[in-house]
Structure 1
Amino acid sequence: MSNISMVEAKLPPGFRFHPKDDELVCDYLMGKVVVADPQDSPQLMMIEVDLNKCEPWDIPEIACVGGKEWYFYSQRDRKYATGLRTNRATASGYWKATGKDRPIYRKAALVGMRKTLVFYQGRAPKGRKTDWVMHEFRIEGPLGPPKITSLKVSY
């Protein structure tokens, strides 16, 4: 049984998963980062995906819960062992950040940031832009930045 089938089999008929940005950060990402017991974490809807070993067109098969948006967790991979830069390369391309990071608030308090990335096929700087867009969510404040990010990909 695929990851999709296992998740969807546990959902009530007609269920739609469409969380707001603050819910992704506070209820899902913080829940994954700070919960001591994995059974208490709200992980039913989101699985872990290694973005460095997965192309965007493979994501729907492994992380889809229906629709054209896919939600999942991913460990941030460092480009250099001693550096802070994130490695966003795959075998066939790379995710490139676009625009500025957007703040996410809950009850007027900054809880996270959202970064928008676009997938380019090939290698920088001559990569070809695709229609794949990803929003990366990270915790800000005393609990962030974590090693795990919450991601939403759409096509």
Structure 2
Amino acid sequence: MPDYSLLARQLKALLDTRDWLTNSAQTSAFLMQEIPDLNWAGFYLQRSSEQLTLGPFQGKPACNPIPFSKGVCGAAARTRQTQRIDDVHAVADHIACDSASESELVVPILDTNGALWGVLDLDSPRKARFSEADQAGIEALVEIFCQASDLD
């Protein structure tokens, strides 16, 4: 399992601008490089009502747009709760952008006013890739991203 306290220190040092676009691109690349067994890492942004739009990411070309009513990313946006899915094929409305994906972790991102800004989406080609400890570690990294970025 990754050393999330070390990754937190590294991500803080990496995010040396307030620009959300630069920070989301850097965070995607950092996670893809440092978290084992990922095949996709990136952001979906809320730019219109009830819909997520593709943002910076690492991995194969992605699905766009994603309505709040569909998929794991939509569920995270709709409920504003992290979605940790051990087997994406067991999710009836899963949106399969990469057929190699087996598990998924999606963390909602709120701006400083508490409004949904977007989600961080991590996919793995391994079933049950994300543990509770991974979820807590990734949520902490998302908080660092939020603190470093101007999301309003």
Same fold (TM over 0.5): no
The TM-score by the shorter chain falls in which range?
0.3 to 0.5
Larger Rg: 1
Which of the pair is proportionally richer in strand?
Answer: 1
Which of the pair is proportionally richer in helix?
Answer: 2
